[in-house]
Structure 1
């Protein structure tokens, strides 16, 4: 039989001690009803733990920035959008077209963009080609030369 070295002997004696304490505790519970009753009371009368509270301190500018970002998302500043071009030419005619488009289609925003040497009148800001096609059907009744395009950034 092999002789235990010092570390193995210490480990083996520790295991034996722990198992003997465990057996003694079980015997105490079986023989002493008071200890068993106290354990039952502890389990039955557990106190509920209080709920934690979290307080978040944030700068009010964060809320403002989130509002600005959501507005810019709706306006199409961050994604590819479609627009309808109503006119390409001189400034006086572009202003007249913009005014008539504003009265005919108040639900869509119109804008005038300058591209050397002419002005463009743009209508709307559509998220999809389908949405732009639906709008174009209405717009062509007033402006037959209108067309859909995707502006470059």
Structure 2
């Protein structure tokens, strides 16, 4: 039994040597180099690309939301009241405010029994305070407030 094992081991060892010899003879790039190793050139992977398919109405919705944010519909906002009284005086104050401060929206609201002239739509208290400082120069009775959401 031992002889068969030795024969099998020698036979296996012979096949390994003949395989290595055969492989090294086939490698033409390393025929003058005694090592079996070859160099491999690695290239970096290509940059991945992402394609986003979205409904074109999303852009329209974002534009509407931006406009609503600027108008103060969605966020809490501050306003400044310039006048509270009869309609004729309110109209005069409105015209004066529109010519003096064209950068801010001015409008008249009617709350029983008076007309009120409001200016601006400020997103922060700081923004409102800066505007109030300028407005007080023309309208001494102006005061800030936060309108209630209906």
- Tell me, yes or no, whether TM beats 0.5: yes
Give the drift of 1:51. Answer: 4.5
5+ residue gaps, structure 2: 1-15, 28-35
Whether 2:133 is the aligned partner of 1:133: answer: no
Using the size of structure 2 for normalisation, the TM-score is 0.67
Alignment of 1:55-74 (within 5 A): 55-74=51-70
TM-score normalized with structure 1 length: 0.66
Structure ID, larger Rg: 2
Any stretches of 5+ residues in structure 1 without a counterpart? 1-26
Correspondence list, 1:7-86, <5 A = 31=20, 34=24, 37=37, 40=38, 44-46=40-42, 49-86=45-82
Of Structure 1 and Structure 2, the greater helix share is in 1
The alignment partner of 2:109 has SS state of strand
Q: Distance in 1 between matches of 2:139 and 2:65?
A: 33
Q: Name the SS for the 1:124 alignment partner.
A: strand
Question: d(CA) in 2 for partners of 1:87 and 1:108?
Answer: 16
